[in-house]
Amino acid sequence: MEMTKKYLKIYDDLVKKIQAGVWQVSAMLPSENELSSHYNSSRETIRNALDLLSQNGFIQKVHGKGSIIIDAHKLSLPVSGIVSFKELAENLQLSTQTIVASLNYLEKDHDIYKILSPAAKDRVWQVERVREIANEKVILDKDFFNDKHIPKPSVDVCQDSIYDYIEGELGLTIAFAQKEIVVEEVTEEDQMRLDVDGFTNMVVIKSHVYLEDTSLFQYTESRHRPDKFRLVDFARRLDTRHHPVHEPFLT
């Protein structure tokens, strides 16, 4: 009696083999037919696993040829997405630290209510966290939550990982996010909380985050000192016929 999904087990197995170097980069994966007999599965199930490999930058499928091993993870792990600072920090070799600078409910007249609680029925709380990397305070994260979806937790939870709290303790599933990256001027708050170190601008990531039922539950601003900001992204060219997949956008 297996709980796990077959195509995920196949995916996991293939990832492990690719990372172990069973096949060289730019070599071919076995064909879909070979894989389906090897894993005792239908071709469609293999294709589900291969789709995952492709989405995550492990292979490139070529019609009539096969699946080529690529290495989108070479330079320094990649891909735009939704990730917590904790997940991120675990992949860094540098020492990191989080300082909870504030944690409180907001006044009802705060602008953020328009976004997170239009009827102002639910309370909204805020947490501000300073991220220290190699003993420099370089990131200021300002998170706003609707109390109805995410009850205000303790400082300890904020110190650890709010996403673990949301996905683990509360059992909610984060589905998607809309993000905007811009460069803004340094604020007084930046100067108070961070080591701005003479910089006059900050890179700001503004995110609207949604649950699986499409309700908006979080708004975040992550303010980065520009010399410590770097975003690595792996992008596939999808159909751009109707709704061009965009990149730098200009106002």
Partner DNA sequence: GAGTGGTCTAGACCACGAC
Partner DNA sequence: TCGTGGTCTAGACCACTCA
**Which residues, 57 to 76, sit near DNA by CB under 7 A?**
61-67
Q: Cβ of residue 123: shortest distance to its own copies, in angstroms?
A: 23
Looking only at residues 208 through 237 of this chain, which bind its own copies when binding is defined by CB under 8 A?
210, 212-214, 222, 224, 226-237
Q: How open is the CA angle 190-196-201, to the nearest 5 degrees?
A: 75
- Which residue's CB is nearer to DNA, number 10 or number 140? 10
Q: What is the distance between the terminal CA atoms of the chain, rounded to a whole angstrom?
A: 56
Minimum distance from residue 7 beta carbon to its own copies (Å): 11
Q: What are the phi and psi torsion angles at 78 (to 5°)?
A: -130, -165
Nearest distance in Å: CB 160, its own copies? 17
Q: Toward DNA, which CB reaches closer, 5 or 108?
A: 5
Q: With binding defined as CB under 7 A, does residue 117 bind DNA?
A: no
Torsion of CA 237, 239, 243, 244, to 10 degrees: 30
Q: Which of 10, 57, 113, 217 binds its own copies (CB under 8 A)?
A: 57
Continuous segment of H or E residues that includes residue 19? helix 6-19
- Find all residues with CB under 8 Å of 248, minimum gap 6, and list them: none
175 binds, among its own copies, DNA, none (CB under 5 to 8 A by kind): its own copies
Q: Nearest CA to 231 among 181, 187, 160?
A: 181
Which residues form the interface with DNA (CB under 7 A)? 3, 5-8, 29, 31-34, 40-45, 47-48, 61-67
